[in-house]
Amino acid sequence: MEKRRKVNDVLMFMATLLLAVIFFFPIFFNLMSAFKTNPEIMRDAIALPKSLNIESFKYLLTETEFPAAMLNSLLLTVLSVVFMVLIIPMAGYAIERHNRTWTRVIFTFYLAGMMIPFQAYMIPLFKELKMFGLYGNLAGPIVVYVAGSVGFGCLLYTSFLKGVPREIEESAEIDGCTRFGTFWRIVFPLLGPCTASMIVLQGLGIWNDFLMPMLVLPSGQPKTMIVEIFYYVGEFSSRWDMIFAGTTMSIIPILIIFLFLQKYFVKGLASGAIKG
Amino acid sequence: MVVQQQHNDPAKAIAMPAVKKKRKKWQWYALLFILPSFILYTLFVIVPTLSSVYLSFTSWDGISTEVRYIGLSNFEEIIQSERVHNALRNTIIITVALVILENLAALVLAVLVDQVRWFRNMFRSIFYFPVLLSGIVMGFIWTIILNYNFGVFNQLLIMVGLESWMKDWLGDPNYALLSIILSTVWKSAGYYMIIYLAGLQSVPGDLTEAAGIDGANRWQQFRHITFPLLAGAMTVCMVLSMIAALKIFDQIAVMTDGGPGFATETLTYIIYKVGFGEMRQGFGTAMALVLFLLILIVTIIQVKFFRKREVQL
């Protein structure tokens, strides 16, 4: 019995390992190809790079507009997330703690938005952004990202707030703190894990987004990393090494953040999904 | 998605004048707290959605100031157009295939990660990695892997002596859709795995143990105890994977551009092509509304259907 159990464990480990190799291979292939020269990729796609060739990175960073696109990606992601943190936790807090009919109606109104696909409103959205003067600059996508994450964000915060005791806020208020002060000084710090989850999940989505920056940012100028990569696939169809260098530069920051903040990816996902 | 809230406020019952005043004040603060998100959300989600409804009855081109009302013509065209039928068929194939395959893969991965004795966290991370990639990046990687001449996949087939199986995976209309489906399973399975894993870990160990003592083997334990208790996670995963599949876009844009011919054109892809390529935004919004209704109806049916078989502990 003991022996059979051990055999089982080993078999299961081998099966998992095999699947892990298959799952990891495309990512490994990408990282590896970024350090190969183009002829090397064409000649033998599976072979390891002969030497660490960083020419494609150099070319991408000096000869193309990729650095500007990287900056755009970074600005878009950081600014959108900052505005989300300024606006959404507050709303979630008011909805959860001031439990009245009107706040419940607003909550349902927000959640309904989670069902609307972006494609369903993107065409009039661009017209509207033009009207507000938000078309053709970074402000446009930022506003849309923040608006689009209200439903998910409020769901995340209200479910998290249910587990935060009210006593602390109440005593702060008795001590003369305003609601506004109580929220930012007392409650908001307690919501740290929830905020972290929202930041990593929404930040990832914005960093990786394609359709909106492609359509909203001005043409003829560098847009975001992902959009540039998409254009390169069409334009530099024979410079795979360069495109692989680009995709690598878009993956590395995500991998690093994921390795450090793994639990927030998992937690936000599980709580956002299970409670829904 | 329905969220139930409790609303029994003990303080309300013993409201004194001072407390009452404070409550009133709180109401204004609550309004202030909600207002920014409300304005943004209404202005940039709800208003454009409603404008979509209006524009779907027009022949607007997206540029001119003239918006001409043409009644139901757009919807008539949707019903009659061969191209839309083809896209609908592709969307349905992709959605059904992805919902089944992604959930199956996710369930297998979750069980393996839950049961494996060594390197559990490492395995979990590896299976989750592809979720972190953009559809564009993932699409490019697979475009190269599946390339006819230089791709890894065909190279592997040669190595194991299956040269006759070699295909132009993305250039052959018979295989392009399949290639997109399978590479999307690779990308998304890890996401649903996390949700199933959370479900698996909430199944109390003494239940399966008791069944084991009663003589149930491991498969029977899984089939009759663990699996029914996963129904909640399954509802969530089924609905989420279905919505995601109906909206599939990025990987198609980079892998096939809807081709070869119209072999991989989906509803979302038509909306984009028609609205921004052919400048027929009135027709594009009509398509978008059809997609929205499709998502709405299928979600409601699915939630109703799956909630029934959920088991409470």
Over residues B262-271, the pLDDT tens digits come to 889 999 998 8
Judged by CB atoms closer than 8 Å, whether chains meet at B292 and A116 is answered as: yes
Residue A11 forms part of a structural domain: no
The answer as to whether A127 is a domain residue is yes
Global pTM exceeds 0.90 = no
pLDDT at B23 over 80: no
How many degrees, rounded to 5, is the angle at CA A92 between CA A118 and CA B293?
A: 30
Q: Please count the residue pairs, one from chain A and one from chain B, whose beta carbons lie less than 8 angstroms apart.
A: 277
Please give the structure tokens belonging to residue A69. 């696109």
Residue A26 lies in a domain: no
Mean pLDDT of B60-73: 76
A140, part of any domain: yes
pLDDT higher than threshold 80 for residue B82: yes
Cβ <8 Å between B27 and A98: yes
Q: Which pLDDT value is given to residue B6? A: 46
Q: What is the pLDDT of residue A98?
A: 87
Question: At which residue do the structure tokens 């096939």 appear?
Answer: B256
DSSP string, A156-224: HHHHHHTTS-SHHHHHHHHTT--HHHIIIIIIHHHTHHHHHHHHHHHHHHHHT--HHHHHHSPTTS---
Q: Is the dihedral of CA A217, A128, A199, B272 positive or negative?
A: negative
Q: Which of A236-245, B53-62, B189-198 has the highest mean pLDDT?
A: B189-198
The pLDDT value given to residue B99:
95
Give the pLDDT score at B309.
66
Instruction: Name the residue range of residue A73's domain.
Output: 56-275
Interface predicted TM-score (ipTM): 0.87
Confidence (pLDDT) at A270: 60
- Is A204 a domain residue? yes
Per residue of chain A (276 residues), what is the pLDDT tens digit?
577 778 888 998 999 999 999 999 999 999 988 888 888 888 777 878 887 888 888 888 888 888 999 999 999 999 999 999 999 999 999 999 888 889 899 999 998 888 888 888 888 888 888 888 888 888 999 999 999 999 989 988 988 888 888 888 888 878 877 888 888 888 898 888 889 888 988 999 999 999 889 888 887 788 899 999 998 888 877 788 889 999 999 999 999 998 888 888 777 666 545 433
More confident residue, B69 or A268: B69
pLDDT of residue A192: 86
Q: Do B253 and A210 touch (CB under 8 A)?
A: yes
Q: What does DSSP assign to residue B69?
A: B
pLDDT exceeds cutoff 50 at B4: no
Number of domains comprising chain A: 1
> Residue A252 CA to chain centroid, in angstroms?
14
Considering only CA atoms, which of B126, B86, B144 is closest in space to residue B266? Answer: B86
Of the two residues B88 and B20, the one the predictor is more confident about is B88
pLDDT (average), residues B51-76: 80
CA A136 to chain centre: 22
Would you call B117 and A98 a contact, using CB atoms and an 8 Å cutoff?
A: no
| Mean pLDDT value across residues B72-77 | 82
B158 touches chain A (CB under 8 A): no
Chain B within 8 Å of A273 (Cβ-Cβ)? yes
Q: Is B16 left (phi over 0), alpha (psi -120 to 50) or beta?
A: beta
Quick check: B258 contacting A, CB < 8 Å?
A: no
Say if A219 falls within a structural domain: yes
* Residue A97: inside a domain: yes
User: What would the mean pLDDT of B155-170 be, rounded to a whole number?
Assistant: 83
CA dist B248 and B171 (Å) reads 19
Whether A67 is covered by a domain: the verdict is yes
The pLDDT mean for chain B works out to: 84
Alpha carbon distance B128, B146 (integer Å): 22
Within 8 A of B254 by CB-CB distance, chain A residues are 230, 233
Nearest CA among B96, B201, B187, B195 for reference residue B133: B187
**How long is chain B?**
313
In terms of average pLDDT, the best of B143-157, B185-199, B228-242 is B185-199
pLDDT grade for B219, boundaries at 50, 70 and 90: confident
**What residues in A contact B62, CB-CB < 8 Å?**
123, 126-127
- The residue length of chain A stands at 276
From the list A91, A152, A195, the residue with the least C-alpha distance to B37 is: A91
The answer, yes or no, to whether residue B282 has pLDDT greater than 50, is yes
For residues B305 and B291, give the distance between their C-alpha atoms in angstroms, rounded to a whole number: 21
Q: Report which secondary-structure segment, H or E, holds A41.
A: helix A38-43
DSSP readout, B72-103? THHHHHHHH-HHHHHHHHHHHHHHHHHHHHHH
How far is residue A127's CA from residue A131's CA, in Å, rounded to a whole number?
6
Lowest mean pLDDT among B80-94, B201-215, B241-255, B281-295: B201-215
Q: Minimal CA–CA distance to A69: which of A138, A167, A118?
A: A138
Over 70: is that where the pLDDT of B21 sits? no
Could you tell me the CATH number of the domain that includes residue A136? 1.10.3720.10
Q: Which candidate in A17, A73, A111, A123 is best for mutational testing of the B interface (most B CBs within 10 A)? A: A123
pLDDT band per the 50, 70, 90 thresholds, residue B226: confident
Inter-chain touch A230–B1, beta carbons under 8 Å: no
Interior angle at CA B64, CA B62 and CA B66, nearest 5: 110
Q: How far apart are CA A213 and CA A225, in angstroms?
A: 10
Q: Which residues lie closer than 8 Å to B311 by C-beta, 6 or more apart?
A: B228, B229, B231
